[in-house]
Amino acid sequence: MKKTLLISTTILSLSANNNYIPISKISKDKQAEYKFSKLNNNTVVNKKEVTQKIIIEDNQEYTRVSKLKDETFFNNKNTKIKLSLSDFNSKSEQYIYNGPNDRKISQLTWEANNVKLLGFGIEHKTKDLGLYFNYKTNIKDGNGVMDDYDWLYDSQPNTWTDWSHHDNTVVEDVNILDLGINKEFTIYDKTKLIMSLGYKWEKQLFKAYDGSYIYSGSDLPSELRAYTGTFSGKGITYEQVYKGFYLGAELEKKYKDLYFILNTKYTPNMQVEFTDTHHMRVPSFTDYTSFNDTSMLSLGLGIDYNMHRNQILSFSYDYTKYFYKRGDRVRSYVTGYNWELPGTVGVESENNLINLEYKYRFFL
């Protein structure tokens, strides 16, 4: 049986910060009793009367007071803090061409293997929009590998002539920043569509040390892959950065305490920048490249388990592809000489993440 009471409540608010401090209990009786923390004698207090309509269940000791309309914008009831551990793998390809319209003469393949990332994130939902911020970075240096192939014989353009292999490749940096705004739409029972506008920034930094090689001499059959050996020291440093705005869509389906999630992100306007430094060349040099309008496609799936009203455990997989793009590069020698090489470089990259994430949801 429900009893309806119309009671007058007194709300105290500090004029110093304009925040009200409702610290109250409502008993089963028809009288409402409020207790407030002791205030400093010098504090100026303003009072205002608010009439509340309260429903009390016979079997409840207290009831919940509805929120006031003048509450602050940052409502913790809709805020999540996230911590994650991720396994990161990637593959990046560099292509060097003999000229703007000529054939490929070199290819470098960089791989990051099982690099561990630590992540932090925050989500906040208002009545109309949601805000999100996520950042991941490697916990320590990771393991990688690099292969460098050359096709130097014009008489055999499809046969590689030189190859160097670098098992001792260090992945020094992996950083992923993802932030934006989103809006939810209920499309049918327990199913939501979430549309987002976001910004992504992703960086990888590799350093290849030591290695072995197979090289060719002159353009003669007897010279093809005739020379082998090893070298030590720092060979090549490679850094790539992708950044840009994207559109995203996420489908979320609730079943009991589980949430099944499918999402995608896409943009045709991602910017890519990379530098490629060859330390063992005499003189050493660095290639600088920057492209606009590179396409990115990301696909993800996951499952959230609502362990407690405050706590969520999430497991997810994300795959991201940065599509092939060809353009210009500038080679800068340590001597100070710069050489512009239009249309002679191409790049593409892909990576995947396996994520285990803990989310804590705050309530008032």
* DSSP codes joined into one string, 29-80: SS-EEE--PPPPTT--EEEEEEEEEEEEETT-S--PPPPPTT--S--GGGEE
DSSP string, 222-244: GGTT-EEEE--SEEEEEEEEEEE
- Residue type at 214? I
Q: What is the pLDDT of residue 220?
A: 80
Residue from 243, 325, 231 nearest 278 by CA? 231
Q: What is the pLDDT of residue 55?
A: 42
Q: What is the pLDDT of residue 182?
A: 97
Give bridge partners of residue 44 from the DSSP assignment.
none
Rounded CA-CA distance 353/355 in Å is 6
Q: Over the chain (364 residues), what is each successive 10-residue block's mean pLDDT? A: 40 38 41 39 40 41 41 58 98 96 96 98 91 98 97 92 97 98 92 97 98 91 93 97 98 95 98 96 95 96 94 98 96 95 96 98 72
Q: What is the pLDDT of residue 77?
A: 54
Q: Which CATH architecture has domain 79-362?
A: Beta Barrel (2.40)
Q: What is the pLDDT of residue 362?
A: 86
Domain with CATH 2.40.128.90 in the chain: 79-362
Q: What is the pLDDT of residue 218?
A: 83
Q: What is the pLDDT of residue 20?
A: 39
Rounded CA-CA distance 320/299 in Å is 7
Structure tokens at 206: 């590799």
- Residue type at 27? S
